[in-house]
Amino acid sequence: MVELYRNYRDAVVSSGVENAMDIVVKVMSTVLDRILLQFEEPFTFGSHHKRMVEPYDYYTFGQNYVRPLLDFRNSYLGNLKIFDQIEKNLKEGHNVIFLSNHQTEADPAVMALLLEHSHPYLAENLTYVAGDRVVLDPFCKPFSMGRNLLCVYSKKHIHDVPDLAEMKIKANAKTLRQMTILLRQGGQLLWVAPSGGRDRPDPETNEWVPAHFDSSAVENMKRLSDIVRVPAHLHALSLLCFEIMPPPVQVQKELGERRAVGFSGVGLAVSEQLDYDSIAKLVDDSKNAKDAFSDAAWSEVNDMYNVLKEAIYGDQGCAVSTDSLRLEQPWFDGSRRTD
């Protein structure tokens, strides 16, 4: 807790914001109080968790914690018109699934903060397919309680403790049934990280890059969206925010990782709807089609990530926009493009 406080304090102070220490004390006193509560009265997540805003507003709690860490002057949202269409599709009862990279424990708050000015409906109604770490670690749980979650055990770690493997498999099956029920209702917005974990730096270049997707995870979401017989739209979603709360360089199985915190620009971008049939026509069998679709989704994520990286770290800003990716800053009045 002491380390978390110091890291958060240093990050907020480095932002140059006025009254930085007042913000730190106000935010961190609340955060530490809510973390301690998880040791005294642990909350248990079900397979489907709906964000808690009463009697305590955990959604706003999470937003207030991450907001001072974002350099909005150097942050970007990509393809607002596609987000417009996604919101329209949802309100018409369609399902939308984001196939995304995953950078930090703060990803849900970062996405919501970037969307809340132009698309608050998406920010508040997004459901995250979340691994067990964020619903078991007392330092994560208060933030997770403010998000809509479908809770799963990562395939990478199901057999870490052999005696628990059967329980984890059954829990995942229960979550899958709950996901099916939600998708049959329609109007669901799901976020999935098919890589199965957070991005890490490339060992050769030390550059942070989107981890490759597990094609079976992508195929499962595609198949499930087809089975429920409700119109569904799959989009690639790219997120760049690793400096806000970078994970340990090496994947660790144990809970209780050290938490670095930083102040940085961030970015979020969405692709056009992914067209499975067009991609499948280019390959000769169903297995290759599955892999090709997964690769195409990851390539979209990676391409958008590189544009966001150039905008944020290459001092190019919105000028780095391409024909397929328009970057904007809708949190600044009058900044949204109409062309």
Question: Measured between alpha carbons, how far is 186 from 177 in angstroms, rounded to an integer?
Answer: 15
Looking at residue 67, its pLDDT comes to: 97
Instruction: Walk across the sheet containing 267-273 and list its strands.
Output: 48-49, 148-151, 126-130, 189-192, 95-100, 232-240, 267-273, 76-78, 327-328
> Between these two residues, 25 and 160, which has the higher pLDDT value?
25
Whether pLDDT at 253 is above 70: no
Instruction: Compute the average pLDDT of residues 140-148.
Output: 96
Average pLDDT over the chain, rounded to an integer: 91
- Domain ranges in the chain are 44-328
Question: Measured between alpha carbons, how far is 124 from 194 in angstroms, rounded to an integer?
Answer: 22
155 within 8 A of 176, measured Cβ to Cβ:
no
% of the chain exceeding 90 in pLDDT: 76
pLDDT in tens, 257-314: 678 999 999 999 999 999 998 998 888 777 788 999 999 999 999 999 999 999 999 9
CB atoms within 10 A of CB 258: 10
261 within 8 A of 244, measured Cβ to Cβ:
yes
Looking at residue 338, its pLDDT comes to: 45
Phi, psi of 158 (to 5 degrees): -60, -35
Whether pLDDT at 339 is above 60: no
Q: What is the DSSP letter of 317?
A: G
Looking at residue 288, its pLDDT comes to: 87
Q: How confident is the model at residue 335 (pLDDT cuts 50, 70, 90)?
A: low
pLDDT in tens, 206-248: 899 999 999 999 999 999 999 999 999 999 999 999 999 998 7
Looking at residue 69, its pLDDT comes to: 97
> If we measure between CA atoms, which residue out of 107, 299, 82 comes closest to residue 193?
107
The partner residues of 96 in beta bridges, in order of sequence, read 189, 233
191 within 8 A of 268, measured Cβ to Cβ:
no
CATH class as words, domain 44-328: alpha beta
pLDDT in tens, 179-202: 999 999 999 999 999 998 899 998
C-alpha torsion sign, points 222, 224, 227, 230: negative
Instruction: Compute the average pLDDT of residues 128-145.
Output: 90
Cα end-to-end span (Å), the chain: 48
